[in-house]
Amino acid sequence: MHEEWSHTLLQSDPMRFYRAKRDRLHQAVTSKYTILGFISSGTYGRVYKAQSLEPDGQIHAIKKFKPDKEGDVVTYTGISQSAIREIALNREMSHENVVALKEVILEDKSIYMVFEYAEHDFLQVIHHYSQTLRIQIASQVLKSLIYQLLNGLVYLHSAHILHRDLKPANILITASGVVKIGDLGLARLIYQPLQPLFAGDKVVVTIWYRAPELLLGAKHYNKAVDCWAIGCVFAELASLRPIFKGDEAKLDSKKNVPFQRDQLLKIFEVLGTPTEKDWSGLKDMPEYQNMKRLDTYPNRLAEWCQTRIRSQQGYDLIRQLFAYDPDKRLTAKEALAHKWFQEDLRPTRNVFFPVSAHHLPPQRRITQDEAPSMMGMPAPTQAQTLSQVPLGHGQAQGQHLSQQSQLNLSQQSKPGSTASFGSVSGGAVGSFSGGQGGSARKKPRIG
């Protein structure tokens, strides 16, 4: 007798027991953390501030990934490539200057990455200095910020990881003044590329921080793109505004990558038009012909640095980070060994060490309106299904996780609604939208 129904069940819901066991053992996010508030909404997810329910009561940042969507329809297509990358790389990493992943919780179709909490980030610091204090960042602080940033990047690069999205918003600082590189959502292991890097993501790096070889359409690129971005971040900390604030040319309807004329011009205005003497591979760049049609400019970097960086060595470092030829650009390791860091005043482990208390950047603002929505509707406990639903027939399929959540997705995902589980439509703007918030800070992504 039993053969028949068990056979039916094995076919209709082959993973029933496994699921029941797993759901029974699962520890819900809310059983481990109290959500204190909502921090920010990015390209791939929303970030919340949370407190561990363990006795230590540690504070964390929990990043909840948005589900992938295709067009306007939310089709549940599994874990995004970006989340897989970020998870895979973060699980392997451990370095003082890279944000630490504490755990990952997979629940109800959502991925929650629990990170150590960082009270500040570079964008916020820039904003604080430019809007509130209205002074420059002291050069020792600047040096410490760049030093620790480079130190984290040396680690990533020695592990053959390209970050590919270094920009002020992705570089965090803890309350005790330690720099933490964050957001490895675009990062990639280049050690054993199975495909040329270009094949995966046609566009990388937020436009203002994008290296010239990428802007000129290079199919092959390397760690040097991160070093360029660090040059941009350095300049932005020094001047409190993006150094190359170009407008991004949008993808056309055929999703061809357009020529980034404006961004290149912004770079040329400061660094001068590149020549083959600077960069022997220049004429082989796919966009070389387009580039030649642009007006030419002289190099004005020294002048630019005079008031902003106020150190010959500092200027020398940035100059070498802005080498047009990726092969001549300083590597992270070389940059870290640069004389500027040996010159007084030296970098400090607490980057805020020389900053007086009333000049410290404020704590990260959090908002409450989005906080309760993080978890969506409580799901029925899956452990029950086994004992409650009589075995046999088709209803075995009826109750479990995916259907339940599907319901949530389709019925309750209006942005801003209390149960915006899976709210994918961008929804709320983060509490902090630094003076330069706009679309250029968003990662353009296709493919």
Catalytic residues: 165
Q: How far is the CB of 97 from another protein (least distance, A)?
A: 13
In 3D, which of 61, 27, 67 has the Cα closest to residue 47? 61
Q: Which residues contact 427 (CB under 8 A, 6 or more apart)?
A: 41, 370, 415, 416, 420
User: Is the CB of 63 or the CB of 143 nearer to ligand ATP?
Assistant: 63
The listed partner (another protein, Mg ion, ligand ATP, none) that binds 88, CB under 5 to 8 Å by sort, is: another protein
Chain position carrying tokens 């439509």: 425
CB of 374 to another protein, least distance (A): 18
CA separation (Å) from 326 to 16, 76, 242, 302, 428? 54, 40, 21, 20, 39
Q: How far apart are the first and last CA of the chain?
A: 52
Buried b / exposed e across 334-346, counting CB within 10 Å, b at 16+? ebbebebbeeeee
Of 175, 189, 257, 428, which one interacts with another protein (CB under 8 A)? 189
Closest CB 15 distance from another protein, rounded Å: 6
Partner that binds at residue 241, options ligand ATP, another protein, Mg ion, none, CB closer than 5 to 8 Å by kind:
none
Question: What is the contact mask toward another protein in residues 350 to 389, using x (rule: CB under 8 A)?
Answer: ------------------------------------xx--
49 sits in which H/E element: strand 45-52
CA-to-CA dists, residue 124 to 172, 378, 387, angstroms: 9, 35, 52
User: Which residue has tokens 């970050």?
Assistant: 163
Dihedral angle, C-alpha 341, 185, 374, 437, nearest 10 °: 60
Helix, strand, coil % (nearest 5) of the chain?
Answer: 40, 10, 50
Among 9, 37, 45, 317, binds ligand ATP (CB under 6 A): 45
CB of 102 to ligand ATP, least distance (A): 10
Binding mask 154-183 for ligand ATP (x = CB under 6 A): ---------------xx-x---------xx
Interface with Mg ion, residue 170, by CB under 5 A: yes
Q: Do 42 and 392 meet the contact criterion of CB atoms below 8 Å apart?
A: no
Interface pick for ligand ATP out of 40, 110, 130, 331 (rule CB under 6 A)? 40
Structure-token pair, residue 328: 């001549």
E strand or H helix that includes residue 142: helix 139-158
Closest CA to 328 of 272, 283, 280: 280
Which of these ranges, 22-30, 41-49, 92-100, 364-372, lies near Mg ion under the rule CB under 5 A? 41-49
> Minimum distance between the CB of residue 281 and Mg ion, rounded to whole angstroms?
31
Q: 105: which strand partners?
A: 112
Q: How far is the CB of 74 from another protein (least distance, A)?
A: 11
Binding track, positions 404-433, relative to another protein; x by CB under 8 A? --x---------------------------
For Mg ion, the binding residues (CB under 5 A) are 42, 170, 183
Interface positions with another protein (CB under 8 A): 1-3, 6-7, 9-12, 14-15, 17-19, 21-22, 75-79, 81, 84, 87-89, 91-95, 104, 106, 109, 155, 158-161, 188-189, 191-195, 200, 386-387, 391, 401-402, 406
Chain residues that interact with ligand ATP, rule: CB under 6 A? 39-40, 42-45, 47, 61, 63, 99, 115-118, 121, 169-170, 172, 182-183, 185, 443
